[in-house]
Structure 1
Amino acid sequence: MTTAETVKTEKPGMKRRHVAWQLEFEIQASIKRCIPCTVISILNKELWSKGLSRSLSPSVFMLTKMAPNSLSVRLEESFTRNALRSYLAEFISTFIFVFAAVGSAMSSRKLMPDATSDPSSLLVVALANAFALSSAVYIAAGISGGHVNPAVTFGLAVGGHVSIPTAMLYWISQMLGATMACLFLRVTTVGQHVPTHAIAEEMTGFGASVLEGVLTFALVYTVYAAGDPRRGPLGSIGPLAIGLIEGANVLAAGHSREGL
């Protein structure tokens, strides 16, 4: 049988595997030569377009799935219509949370002359934080993921769930939302002081940093647990759990903070 006849009688499955083997060889050679992941991403797109991804070995298949896109692609993804909606959702939800949390602290100070040393004032602020964060996360969960807190965005960026350009734009939206909420409170409550965080006199800078780190870890860990796909859809329970841990954090750190 001639070579031409062999090619004609070659089964489609064998031909697909042959092409996949060639592409796999190119990927492995790119890794050995330390070629940037953008090249691997291009090969990955070629594999998927030709439907050859299942013909790869498991290790190379996982590598192509995990290969990051180029910076230009990530920047383009950060300015799509859905991405802009996400930034707006983060701005609004952060505005709502900060407005309610800081506003409750201002109200407790006005109604209670000695609010800084009154335990009931701390409880009021903790409940306001819990309710406000639960509502803010629930509002934005289906649009932006309901980060609301820059620490949550940072944790998701480190975990690879959010690209760095998108995370930076999330931070800008969150900071703008928080700033606008405080400015709105400043304008609408003439004569009242907008409270700010400060370390209590009995706390050291190192101790306060460790405490804030533990509280932030608890919040981010709860967000990860609430968004775990293995748990299935949690509905409103996820935002409620996030709000509850925020309220618990306020109660736990009440002795170390001055202002709120």
Structure 2
Amino acid sequence: MVKDGGVAEHGSFTVKDYHDPPPAPLIDAAELTKWSFYRAIIAEFIATLLFLYITVLTVIGYKSQTDTNAGHGGDQCGGVGVLGIAWAFGGMIFVLVYCTAGISGGHINPAVTFGLFLARKVSMIRAIMYMVAQCLGAICGVGLVKAFQKAYYKKYGGGANELADGYSTGVGLSAEIIGTFVLVYTVFSATDPKRSARDSHVPVLAPLPIGFAVFMVHLATIPITGTGINPARSFGAAVIYNQEKAWDDQVSIFGKKL
């Protein structure tokens, strides 16, 4: 039985209220002629830059405040704590997805972009350009942190992802795979066009569950890998920090993945 508005019982849909969007072309050369395409790339670059700038500053600030060997005699119970770091990452994703969703889709993560490409939500050209912009934005964002916090940057790890002592690369890889799956799964669920057709408020609320997923994953995996789940975040921090352990941990985990 179909109720008013064309939505059937038991969550099914009729042709009146929902049409499955066609898959994006594999290669859409016409995008290269549109200003909206380049505006979206710029949005991804700026969003990832701001994301890394705020979050890496938060990590370094927390470590400097809790360093008992520092001149100010740090407090182990001071700073924002792991909970605050997780909120910084999740909160920034919420804010930036909200700001850029109408321009670029608010990916801010090559893993999200790649997942949407596999689902034929974006073309190959758009996916590649997004991932390049995200990585460059991440490098620039961490570069700004290093420029403004030169005294603390290398001393407190530069916000780079490193495998914690006592964990194997297999454990680190598993944590990153599961965490990335939770994030990408949430993105697909929050932006599902069927859900948008049924619940008009979903497009407005979509950034909230995405940001909350990032927050929850960080709580679980910060003690293991520092939480990557975003290749641009890990890559940008490693490029600017440029220390052997940060690179070795990423290469070893990536090698196991392959």
Q: TM-score, normalised by structure 2?
A: 0.69
| Distance verdict in 2 for CA 1:79–1:150, change over 3 Å | farther
In 2, Cα distance between equivalents of 1:129 and 1:186: 18
Instruction: Out of 227-236 and 189-198, give the one that drifted further.
Output: 227-236
Runs of 4+ in 1 over 2 A off after TM superposition: 65-69, 117-120, 257-260
In 1, Cα distance between equivalents of 2:161 and 2:92: 18
* 2:88 counterpart of 1:128: yes
1:37 aligned residue: none
2:54 to 100, 105, 111: 100
In 1, Cα distance between equivalents of 2:23 and 2:84: 46
In 2, Cα distance between equivalents of 1:68 and 1:89: 22
1:254 to 222, 237, 242: 222
* 2:213 counterpart of 1:245: yes
In 2, Cα distance between equivalents of 1:171 and 1:186: 23
In 1, Cα distance between equivalents of 2:37 and 2:185: 24
1:6 aligned residue: none
In 1, Cα distance between equivalents of 2:24 and 2:214: 35
| Distance verdict in 2 for CA 1:259–1:237, change over 3 Å | closer
Instruction: Out of 194-203 and 151-160, give the one that drifted further.
Output: 194-203
In 1, Cα distance between equivalents of 2:63 and 2:130: 32
CA drift of 1:165 comes to: 1.3
Instruction: Out of 145-154 and 206-215, give the one that drifted further.
Output: 206-215
| Distance verdict in 2 for CA 1:201–1:158, change over 3 Å | same
1:171 aligned residue: 131
- Partner of 2:206: helix, strand, or coil? helix
1:149 to 100, 109, 115: 109
Q: Where in structure 1 are there 5+ consecutive unaligned residues?
A: 1-64
Count of residues in Structure 1 that have an aligned counterpart in Structure 2: 193
**Does structure 1 retain, via aligned residues, the 8 Å contact 2:25–2:122?**
no
Q: Where in structure 2 are there 5+ consecutive unaligned residues?
A: 1-21, 69-73, 229-258
CA drift of 1:206 comes to: 1.3
In 2, Cα distance between equivalents of 1:106 and 1:67: 41
CA drift of 1:195 comes to: 2.2
1:112 to 42, 46, 66: 66
In 2, Cα distance between equivalents of 1:122 and 1:258: 10
CA drift of 1:77 comes to: 1.5
Please list the CA deviations of residues 141-187 of structure 1 after superposition, one character each: whole Å capped at 9, or x if unmatched.
00000000110000000000111111000001101111110011111
In 2, Cα distance between equivalents of 1:218 and 1:127: 17
* 2:161 counterpart of 1:197: yes
Two-structure CA RMSD over aligned residues (Å): 2.4
CA drift of 1:203 comes to: 1.1
CA drift of 1:67 comes to: 9.5
2:181 to 207, 214, 217: 217
Percent identity between the two aligned chains: 30
- Structure with larger Rg: 1
CA drift of 1:230 comes to: 1.6
Q: TM-score, normalised by structure 1?
A: 0.68
**Does structure 2 retain, via aligned residues, the 8 Å contact 1:195–1:259?**
no
CA drift of 1:87 comes to: 0.2
Higher helix proportion:
1
Please list the CA deviations of residues 86-128 of structure 1 after superposition, one character each: whole Å capped at 9, or x if unmatched.
001111111111111111101111222169x869621110011
- Partner of 1:203: helix, strand, or coil? coil
